[in-house]
């Protein structure tokens, strides 16, 4: 089967007519035509197609089956087949790809295309970066560092959005006495797809040792604070060191795919309190050790990602 993408953009193309946003400005140098595809030389709209919610299933001249999204649609297959190719509006919901993989509709041999693209992504380079994660979900260990509200959690979710089986590991429990923190936790929950599991725990060593699928750990700062509480390390920081050693050992040995979010504590002012300085020093040391044992490390600043 031969798929020719003659146009991959939304109906108005990209750049969107009369739009002055930065994304459309960057796309002006290499415009994307509106969605138009040929399969084995035949226009997509001339092939046998069966409507499904959010799109259609299309039969290629060769007999291969494709799943195609309507603009903004999240196509739900009615057949039990593994599709030869999927053409999805991944800017509408990238997690839909992971859900299709989880149900077996997208397999290792399925070709994945992003269609109906437009200024929902900031530029061509960012689209290409996301496509790498969608087509080949990451494996190994990834450490994402960033400050508060840097976008590091959203980046972690993006990297695993195409993975079929993900457990979100929350290391900071919700405190009913802190409405603001509860709202932040709630916002994170609403972003996560329904097919992901959620686990609230600080026992990362055991989890890393037994898990074989994908883990999103958010985050190591709250894990360290809880560990220091349990170990009585706020006054005796050496009491936390065996726990850090155990985590690093489990991180090195894990067979899971892991994306962990952590706080970059080296760019702010020196904390005024002794406990603040102890926490900064321990987390900074932990970040260095985990980074040294990771296949991928990146710093997230203002929603932009800098590979390290």
Residue-wise pLDDT for 74-133, tens only, equals 999 998 999 999 999 999 999 999 999 999 999 999 999 999 999 999 999 999 999 999
Residues 276 and 156 in one domain: yes
Residues 254 and 268 in one domain: yes
Among 88, 109, 135, which residue terminates a domain?
135
Per-residue model confidence (pLDDT) at position 271: 84
My answer on whether omega of the bond before 224 falls inside 30° of 0, hence cis, is no
Among 135, 160, 177, which residue terminates a domain?
135
pLDDT at position 153 over 70: yes
Percent of the chain with pLDDT over 90: 88
Residues 191 and 261 in one domain: yes
- CATH of residue 211's domain is 3.40.50.300
Residue 76 CA to residue 68 CA, distance in Å, equals: 10
Residues 68 and 190 in one domain: no
User: How many other CB atoms are there within 10 angstroms of residue 31's CB atom?
Assistant: 12
Using alpha carbons, select from 288, 150, 169, 279 the residue that is nearest to residue 226: 279
Residues 155 and 212 in one domain: yes
pLDDT tens profile 167-211: 999 998 655 666 665 566 666 666 678 999 999 999 999 999 999
* Burial track 128-162 (b if 16+ CB lie within 10 A, e otherwise): eebbebbeebbeebbbbbbbeebbbbebbbbbbbb
Among 135, 156, 189, which residue terminates a domain?
135
Q: Stretch 11-26: mean pLDDT, rounded?
A: 96
pLDDT tens profile 249-262: 999 999 999 999 99
| Residue 306: strand pairing partners | 299
Q: Would the pTM of this model clear 0.85, i.e. be above it? A: yes
Residues 130 and 149 in one domain: no
Structural domain including 167 reads: 141-307
Give the end-to-end CA distance of the chain in Å, rounded to a whole number: 39
Per-residue model confidence (pLDDT) at position 182: 58
Catalytic residues: 188
User: How many other CB atoms are there within 10 angstroms of residue 213's CB atom?
Assistant: 13
Tally of structural domains, the chain: 2
Categorize the per-residue pLDDT at 279 as very low, low, confident or very high, splitting at 50, 70 and 90. Answer: very high
Categorize the per-residue pLDDT at 269 as very low, low, confident or very high, splitting at 50, 70 and 90. Answer: confident
């Amino acid at each position: 089967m031969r798929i020719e993408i003659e146009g991959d953009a939304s109906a108005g193309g990209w750049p969107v007519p009369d739009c002055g946003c930065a994304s459309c400005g960057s796309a002006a140098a290499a415009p994307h035509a509106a969605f138009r595809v040929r399969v084995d030389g035949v226009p997509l709209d001339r092939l046998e197609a069966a409507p499904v919610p959010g799109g259609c299933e299309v039969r290629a001249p060769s007999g291969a089956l494709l799943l195609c999204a309507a603009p903004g649609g999240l196509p739900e297959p009615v057949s039990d087949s593994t599709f030869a190719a999927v053409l999805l509006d991944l800017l509408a919901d990238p997690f839909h790809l992971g859900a299709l993989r989880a149900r077996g509709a997208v397999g290792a041999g399925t070709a994945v295309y992003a269609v109906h693209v437009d200024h929902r992504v900031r530029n061509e380079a960012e689209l290409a970066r996301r496509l790498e994660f969608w087509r080949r979900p990451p494996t190994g260990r990834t450490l994402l560092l960033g400050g508060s509200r840097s976008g590091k959690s959203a980046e972690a979710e993006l990297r695993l959005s195409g993975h079929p089986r993900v457990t979100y590991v929350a290391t900071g429990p919700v405190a009913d006495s802190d409405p603001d923190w509860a709202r932040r936790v709630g916002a994170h929950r609403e972003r996560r797809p329904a097919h992901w599991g959620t686990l609230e725990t600080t026992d990362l060593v055991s989890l890393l040792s037994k898990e074989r699928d994908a883990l999103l750990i958010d985050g190591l700062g709250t894990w360290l604070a809880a560990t220091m509480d349990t170990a009585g390390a706020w006054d005796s920081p050496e009491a936390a060191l065996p726990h850090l050693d155990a985590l690093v050992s489990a991180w090195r040995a894990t067979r899971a795919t892991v994306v962990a979010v952590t706080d970059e504590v080296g760019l702010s002012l020196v904390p005024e309190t002794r406990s603040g300085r102890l926490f900064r020093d321990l987390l900074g040391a932990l970040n260095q050790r985990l980074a040294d044992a990771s296949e991928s490390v990146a710093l997230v600043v203002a929603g932009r990602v800098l590979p390290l």
